Amino acid sequence: MSQHTAEHPAFALRRVVVTGSAGFIGSHLSHALVRGGARVVGVDRRDPGTEAVASANLAELRDRPEYVHVTADLLDCPIEPMLIDADVLFHLAGVPGVRSSWGPRFGDYLASNVLATHRVLEACARIGLPRVVVASSSSVYGSTDGAASVETDRPQPASPYAVTKLAEEQLCLAHAGKRGGPSVVALRYFTVYGPRQRSDMFIHRALQAALTGQRLRLYGDGHQRRDFTYIEDAVTATIAAGVIPTAHGPVNVGGGATASLLEVINIASSLVGRDIQLDRDLARSGDVITTRADLGRAHEALGWQPRVGLHSGMRAHMEVLASQHPSLSRAA
Ligand code: NAD
Ligand code: UGA
């Protein structure tokens, strides 16, 4: 399924910085960049020496001399030394997740997604770093009528998280418009899945429920739809955003088709060969009914389109999950 061939655009990148490199998307991106020939400085406040998820996410990079990990909080660490001589900054550090952004954790969202991003962008301008690729989110669109969202649509964020992602994106674009500021591509990722997906996310939980027989909590009626995007496709789009000659603005990164949560449950059950028992719960505030990406700009600006469909992406995800956890096994 790999798209990382000798022609992969990562070969055009000499030295890059990835923030959030111990996270789900950041660790895959860092690994793909290293495989493509780049030298990567990864920055994350999670320490792979002491933190289990960070350690597992970075396991493939542990013995690669092309990857150097810096454990640091972007809210207060010196940023410029990490950026010197970098061609591109991939800024993926942030606090994700729609539902937990209500209530007392909002300060953490605001600090990491907005204040830390401002520090990062100021440092980029001071050293003249030419390109920043920032992780934005489909959540900036908010509730739609089901039609595909186009980058020029008016954003209507429906959760505190989405408000911070829109602010982050706009902040980056404001810095880009300043004299000496970097050119910025803000990738609006649509619900990314695949091996190492965060454990709060639905596909991970559905596959885990199928593999273990544990019950799955379903918020709402399950008819909500997502334009689920396989991690390898998201990574390929992200690298392309780092190497295109000129760039400004938001770009959708979606999977190319939508599926409902009930469809995801059926796929997980059929891949594993076990029915999933549901605990039905109320729909959560801030969750939108449908996300659907218009991919015209992604195709035009990045020369990119998704390649991995939901069924084969979920199969790859399930196989890694099952192999990493010997206690989990396929029922049939
Ligand atoms: P993740 O939580 O797995 O990774 C984010 C990483 O950022 C974490 O390792 C965290 O420790 C680090 N981080 C947070 N604040 C930091 C700080 N102040 N200093 C240093 N490191 C910090 O999340 P993910 O799913 O990989 O998402 C990565 C990015 O993509 C986030 O910005 C998220 O908002 C965005 N995004 C994700 C999805 C998705 O479906 N996963 C969709 C849209 C947008
Ligand atoms: C995901 C990421 O978590 C966000 O960080 C990201 O910004 C967003 O995608 C995006 O596309 O921008 P979300 O679409 O909510 O957010 O993805 P999941 O967390 O996988 O949830 C998908 C659906 O499953 C939601 O309706 C949620 O309520 C539901 N769900 C989730 C459950 O029913 N049960 C669960 O245990 C978890």
Q: Is the pLDDT of residue 319 over 70?
A: yes
Q: Provide the pLDDT confidence category of residue 162 given band limits of 50, 70 and 90.
A: very high
**pLDDT per residue as tens digits for the range 251-277:** 999 999 999 999 999 999 999 999 999
Q: What is the pLDDT of residues 125-142, one digit of tens each?
A: 999 999 999 999 999 999
What is residue 328's predicted lDDT score, i.e. its pLDDT? 57
Q: 218 CB less than 6 Å from ligand 2? A: yes
Task: Evaluate: CB of 261 within 6 angstroms of ligand 2.
Answer: yes
Spatial contact of 218 and 261, defined as CB atoms under 8 Å apart: yes
Q: Assess whether pLDDT exceeds 60 at residue 3.
A: no
Residue pointed to by tokens 């939108």 = 288
Task: Give the span between the Cα atoms of 51 and 143, in whole angstroms.
Answer: 36
Closest CA to 215 of 223, 224, 206: 206
Average pLDDT of the residues in 103-115: 98
Ligand 2 midpoint to CA 156 (Å): 17
pLDDT value for 147: 96
**pLDDT of res. 246:** 82
Asked if residue 20 lies in contact with residue 53, where contact means CB atoms within 8 angstroms, the answer is no
Tokens in use for 139? Answer: 């959540």
**Tokens 């995007």 belong to residue:** 229
pLDDT for residue 4: 40
Report the sign of the C-alpha dihedral through residues 204, 209, 215, 220, in that order: positive
Mean predicted confidence (pLDDT) in 148-162: 98
Most informative mutation of 201, 204, 205, 277 for ligand 2 (most atoms within 8 A of CB): 201
Ligand 2 lined by 137 (C-beta under 6 Å)? yes
Most ligand 2 atoms within 8 A of CB, residue of 98, 137, 253, 258 to mutate = 98
CA 172 – ligand 2 centroid, Å: 25
Please identify which of the residues 67, 161, 193, 230 carries the catalytic annotation: 161
329, 274 Cβ separation under 8 angstroms: no
Radius of gyration of the chain (CA): 19
Residues 271, 275, 280, 284, Cα dihedral to 10°: -10
Nearest of 281, 276, 269, 268 to residue 216 by alpha carbon: 276
Of 189, 193, 205, 264, the residue with max ligand 1 atoms within 8 A of its CB, to mutate for a pocket test, comes to 189
What residues contact residue 78 under an 8 Å CB cut-off, 6+ apart? none
pLDDT in tens, 203-245: 999 999 999 999 999 999 999 999 999 999 999 999 999 999 8
pLDDT of residue 159 exceeding 90, the answer is yes
Mean model confidence pLDDT for the chain: 94
Is residue 58 over pLDDT 50? yes
User: pLDDT category, 247, cuts 50, 70, 90?
Assistant: confident
Q: Is 219 in the pocket of ligand 2 (CB under 6 A)?
A: yes
Residues 6+ apart with CB under 8 A from 290: 144, 146, 224, 225, 226, 258
What are phi and psi for residue 70, nearest 5 degrees?
Answer: -115, 120
233: helix, strand or coil: helix
The answer to whether the CB of 155 falls within 8 A of the CB of 130 is no
Q: How much is the pLDDT for 1?
A: 41
Residue 170: exposure state from Cβ atoms within 10 A (0-12, 13-18, ≥19): middle
Distance in Å, CA 29 to ligand 2 centroid: 21
What distance in angstroms lies between residue 294's CA and the mean position of ligand 2's atoms? 19
Residues 69, 126: Cα–Cα separation, whole Å = 23
Q: Name the CATH superfamily for 5-190+230-254+292-307.
A: NAD(P)-binding Rossmann-like Domain (3.40.50.720)
Domain residue ranges in the chain: 5-190+230-254+292-307
Question: Would you place residue 5 in the very low, low, confident or very high pLDDT band (cuts 50, 70, 90)?
Answer: very low
Whole-number pLDDT of residue 138: 98
Residue 13 has a pLDDT of: 78
Averaged pLDDT for residues 50-57: 98
pLDDT for position 329? 53
Q: Is the pLDDT of residue 332 over 50?
A: no
Q: What is the DSSP string of 62-101?
A: TT-TTEEEEE--TTTS--HHHHTT-SEEEE--S---SGGG
The DSSP string of 98-113 is: SGGGSGGGHHHHHIII
pTM to 2 decimals? 0.97
Q: How confident is the model at residue 59 (pLDDT cuts 50, 70, 90)?
A: very high
